[in-house]
Amino acid sequence: DIQMTQSPSSLSASVGDRVTITCQASQDINNYLNWYQQKPGKAPKLLIYDASKLETGVPSRFSGSGSGTDFTFTISSLQPEDIATYYCQQYDILNSLTFGGGTKVEIK
């Protein structure tokens, strides 16, 4: 099974700050990596798919990069409405999915 290591598990930043979250796969997953935002009591929302493609309607301050085993998710300028928990998720050629442990983003 492919394991996903996401870090940090939580972070606190100021409005306007650049926020970066990383996700590392236990083996090469090409670009089969997605990012989600989850607010309390709500279902996750897809933000980035295939490592770097922005889902329709998602603000451009969200971005993703990486390939192989190392991936990065960035919020270029943190906004109050971005307070949430963010998850990475990989899928593989055997159609198995794995989520990272999540990163809780708070306002300082």
Which residues are at the interface with another protein (CB under 8 A)? 1, 32, 34, 36, 38, 42-46, 49-50, 55, 87, 89, 91-102
Tell me the residue type at 80: P
When the beta carbons of 37 and 75 are compared against another protein, the nearer one is 37
Task: Judge whether 85 and 73 are in contact, CB under 8 Å.
Answer: no
When the beta carbons of 17 and 99 are compared against another protein, the nearer one is 99
Alpha helical stretches, state H, the chain = none
Q: How far is the CB of 101 from another protein (least distance, A)?
A: 5
